[in-house]
Structure 1
Amino acid sequence: MEQERIQTAEQWAVLNYGTALLADTRHTARAVQVATSMARFPMVSLPAQMRSQAGTKAAYRLLGSPKVTYERLIQPHVQHTRMQMQHQKRVLLIQDMTEVDYQQHRATTGLGPIGQGDHQGYLLQTVLAVSPTNRQVFGIAAQKPFLRQPAPEGETTHQRERRKQKESQVWQEQAQSIGMAPADCEYIHVGDRGSDIFAFMEVCQGLGCGFNLRVKHNRRVDLLVDQGNTPIPAAHRRRGKQRDAELGPINHLFEEVRGWASQGQRTLTLDGNHKRPQRDATLCVSWGTMRLWPPDGTSGKGAVPLVVTVVRTWELDPPEGQDGLEWMLVTSVAVNNEEQAWERVDWYRIRWIVEDYHQCLKTGCHIEARQMQTYEGLRTLLGFLAPLAVRLLQLRECARQDPERPACEVLPMDVVKVVAYQAKVSPERLTTRRCWHRIAQAGGYLGRKGDGEPGWKTLWKGWLYIQTLVEGIHLASELTLE
């Protein structure tokens, strides 16, 4: 897959906002200007991004206009992402939800409860389109900000479960908004434990899409895969004393899968975070095909079993004092050998990119520090910050692809010349990896033996520093101080 060149802030803004339908061409032109300024300085406040009182006032007027909405701003980016998806053989659609917390901005109106109900903000469901081969992030395939409904006084357990089910429908809605893959292309929805929703799996299959989800629920299962989606007889679904003793006990997923013997073994490097360091783990893998029974009650009414493959990977000998890793994945994509089983595990591991994306929004774009008077204003601002966070994430992925490729084939030539001058090499000899490492060092990356590759924070800080140098060089060539 050909790696795209890093765009300038102006190029990126025109691509993502130049065709936004804002009912007024002046609004579209202003949106491009605002996006350009944000792309140059993504980590600072809106006034600091606009760099003038007039520019700041114009930006706030744009964000407050009823003709400028989140949906209209995000549409060109989503459309561009989906166009890229259609030219791939396989695309992972990684979906996750996060809470955007505005507890510190008590005066902002229109927000809903988040957390345990003691904070205010909104929920954000994002679907990123990612290549399974090189982890290239194409962009946002679908996204929905929405409010959690407050719990009514005296809410019963049944009512609370119904409210949670209604909230979880956003998974199905996002898949439906993306739709079916074109011919010669395959869409595979990937999710963490929160995506283990029977209705979500049904929707994916109905759209002709695959899914690769981490198991949360210990569902009822059977091994009658030859019966396909033949409905489960009512007598077989009964529990306890109502169940005919001749039918035997009902099988459950966890007990069934944990009884499988290991069918392969591999050592994987597990990424670290602020809670645990990076480490190597020796993992076993097993897999098998079964039928998932539909849930009881209204959520499973009229539903039929789903034939799926379950892949389990677990750690043989975890470090002392640490819980051993175990993932159970339910997938609609066939697994016929060990290599394919590990591929499904790799697809799930790529899911962390969407968590990084939400982290980019919060700590890179400082979305929770932005001050607007209303929830609608915050939604409109998200129309700028959501694609901007993708740009931050893409910079990191670009830094990790084709490390020996000449930097001048990927990065703007003025950036390459500045970095090459600092590295004391000719621009033609500067590789992509060395160039990005020098850029990251300007952002605080030390590059020690155990540090691994630079993350998006140091890359962006270094990128902004180099951009400032480039801007100064261009300015110096046009000015004289005599």
Structure 2
Amino acid sequence: MAPVAISWTEREFEQLDLGDARLNKRARILMERFAADPTASVPKACQGWGETMAAYRFFDNNSVDWQAIMAPHWQQTAQRMAALPVVLCLQDTTELDFNGQRAFGLGPLSYEAQRGMYLHPTYAVTPAREPLGIIDAWMWAREKKDKTGARGGPKESLRWIEGYERIAEMAVQLPATRLVYVADREADLVPLMLRAQELGAPADWLVRAKHNRCLPDGDKLWEHTGAGAPIGELTFAMAARHGVKAHTVRQQLWVRTVSLPAGKGKSVVATCVIAREIDAPDGVKPIEWRLLTNRKAATPEAVVELIDWYRARWEIEMLFDVLKNACRVEAMQLGSITQLERALALFMVVAWRIARLMRLGRTCPDLDAELFFDPDEIQAAYLLRKKTPPDKPRLNDVLRQVACIGGFLARKSDGEPGVKTIWLGLKDVHVAVETIRTLREIGALKSCV
């Protein structure tokens, strides 16, 4: 008898507890269905009318809290973090546009006429950019502006501060792991830095500076930091973006320790880093980053490390890309924001898994593929490629088969596959997996392979 394969959802959601065994089972089934075909609508992802109706009942069940759905993933992520010396905790916000849909509880977006909601997760990755999982999330809809132009509801900047506090709490629980809060310019908030200082900075923070603040001696922050000779240089490859061709970036580096006024006689001691591109290609705007952190950076190597950590922030943008374009969450037809939150809790984990497979295939290609794919998935990937799987397939071997099914050409000049060909390939692989399992159940597998 063939061994029963343990799916990744069973491992990731082993500790799921929604208060009812039937709800636990339904959540795991939905995760399997969404992971099998991330681009499908709920009816298409489900197998039959009965399962589709059960899915909608699950999303409409007021006893199901979206945080309880994500809780086992948070726990698994914390275990992965505990095994590492440094973990980057990336934070950012994305708009989810449900314009034209009738879901109750949605609100305006950047344009007042748009309807949708906001998602603000904390995404844990290694310094080598391996996604470990999502450890926290805010989901909300804005209130409409009143006649005076004021908007009610909680102050949205609090999400950055509360996000740091959550990371600080985790840092106490993970004493052997140094956590680093990493965020873009919207997190350049003195109250956040002051709060971290008051807590004793159990977690480090690293944010891109938005404000050229006045320093106590009257100097401006950026001019003060960038004065004098650079302490070193950094060179890295920049991928193509927004009509700009890929090119090698060469930046000069400056660093200063500064005291930032924090009101009422208070101040925050911080390190300011400036990385400024030189010799940029003609017609290309030079890349300049200005960073603030609580960490000391006395050497060029320490400054380069901080910049590398900030550059890893791109991983959360990739997570949003998978969530919107692979999982197509903005196309969901659900009746209320609470139903959307429950669905998003599942899709965030699906998006993480796709992004993690892509990154691990690049950074740890020789890992045993069975750590990430069950035997049926491996068999299906090779079957669709009309190839015989090796006895001990590597992660990168299987991932490239999946990506080729999704349209990756695998030429020498193509490098490693991206997330899009992986998610498209996974869709076909899971169809083949269902076929293999059905044939096995009816005893016809040997005669059909």
Q: What residue in structure 2 maps to residue 239 of structure 1?
A: none
Aligned to 1:186: 178
The worse-fitting range, judged by mean Cα deviation, of 89-98 and 165-174 is 165-174
Look up the equivalent residue of 1:172 and give its one-letter code.
I
Assess if the C-alpha contact under 8 Å between 1:148 and 1:167 holds in 2.
no
Which residue matches 1:212?
206
Cα drift, residue 434 of structure 1: 3.9
Q: Say if 1:417 and 1:381 are closer, same or farther in 2 by CA, change over 3 A.
A: closer
SS in 2 for 1:167: coil
1:49 paired with 2:45, answer yes
Aligned to 1:259: 227
Q: Is 1:32 paired with 2:28?
A: yes
User: How much does 1:425 deviate?
Assistant: 6.4
2:360 to 398, 405, 419: 398
Instruction: Tell me how far 1:431 sits from its aligned partner.
Output: 4.6
1:152 aligns with 2:146: yes
Cα distance in 2, alignment partners of residues 403 and 190 from structure 1? 27
AA of the residue aligned to 1:84: R
Q: CA 1:287 to 1:83, structure 2 compared with 1: closer, same or farther past 3 Å?
A: same
Q: In the alignment, which residue of structure 2 is the partner of 1:333?
A: 295
2-side partners of 1:383 and 1:26: how far apart? Answer: 18
TM (norm. structure 1) is 0.83
Q: In 2 relative to 1, CA 279–428 (structure 1 residues): closer, same or farther, beyond 3 Å?
A: farther
Once the two structures are aligned, what percentage of the paired residues are identical? 29
Q: CA deviation at 1:428?
A: 4.0
**Bigger CA drift: 255-264 or 9-18?**
9-18
> 3-state DSSP class of the match of 1:281?
strand
Q: Which amino acid aligns with 1:355?
A: E
Q: Are the counterparts in 2 of residues 423 and 438 from structure 1 also a CA contact under 8 Å?
A: no
Amino acid at match of 1:318: A
Aligned residues: 436
Superposed CA deviations along residues 97-135 of structure 1, whole A, max 9, x for unmatched, are 011110021x22211110121201111111011111x32
Q: Secondary structure at the match of 1:143?
A: strand
* Structure 1 unmatched runs, 5+: 1-7, 223-248, 295-299
Paired residue type of 1:148: R
**CA deviation after TM superposition for structure 1 residue 87, in Å:** 3.1
> CA separation in 2, counterparts of 1:10 and 1:424?
24
1:282 to 250, 269, 285: 250
Structure 2 regions of 5+ residues with no counterpart?
none
Structure 1 residues 311 and 427, CA gap change in structure 2 (3 angstroms):
same
Q: Choose which of 105, 108, 115 in structure 1 pairs with 2:110.
A: 115
CA distance in 1, matches of 2:342, 2:57: 11
**2:157 maps to what in 1?**
168
1:73 corresponds to which of 69, 74, 79: 69
Deviation at 1:389, TM superposition (A): 1.3
State the superposition RMSD in angstroms.
2.6
Determine if contact 1:267/1:280 at 8 Å carries over to the other structure: yes
- The 3 A distance-change label for structure 1 pair 475 and 100 is same
Distance in 1, matches of 2:65 and 2:5, equals: 22
Q: Distance in 2 between matches of 1:66 and 1:415?
A: 35
Deviates more, 1:412-421 or 1:95-104: 412-421
TM-score, normalised to structure 2, is 0.89
Tell me how far apart the structure 2 counterparts of residues 165 and 413 of structure 1 sit (CA, whole Å).
48
Detail structure 1 runs of 4+ shifted over 6 Å in the superposition: none
Within a 5 Å distance, the mapping from 1:451-466 to structure 2 comes to 451-466=414-429
Q: Which residue of structure 1 lines up, in the alignment, with residue 83 of structure 2?
A: 87
Distance 2:59 2:162 in 1: 27
User: Deviation string for 1:259-299 (max 9, x for gaps)?
Assistant: 242221232111333543332111211212111122xxxxx
Give CA deviations for 1:303-331 in whole Å, capped at 9, x if unaligned: 62111111111110111111100001111
Partner residue of 1:349? Answer: 311
Q: In structure 1, what residue type is equivalent to 2:234?
A: R
Q: Does 1:372 align with 2:328?
A: no
Structure 1 CA distance for aligned equivalents of residues 338 and 369 of structure 2: 42
Name the CA distance, whole Å, in 1 between partners of 2:341 and 2:160: 20
What pairs with 1:369-448 in structure 2 (closer than 5 Å)?
369-405=331-367, 407=369, 411-417=373-379, 419=381, 422=385, 427-428=390-391, 431-448=394-411
Q: Counterpart in 2 of 1:309? A: 271
Q: What is the alpha-carbon distance in structure 2 between the residues aligned to residue 405 and residue 84 of structure 1?
A: 16
After TM superposition, the structure 1 stretch with the greater mean CA deviation from structure 2, 392-401 or 467-476, is 467-476
Check whether the contact 1:19–1:28 (CA below 8 A) recurs between aligned residues.
Answer: no
2:37 touches 2:430 (CA, 8 Å); kept in 1?
no
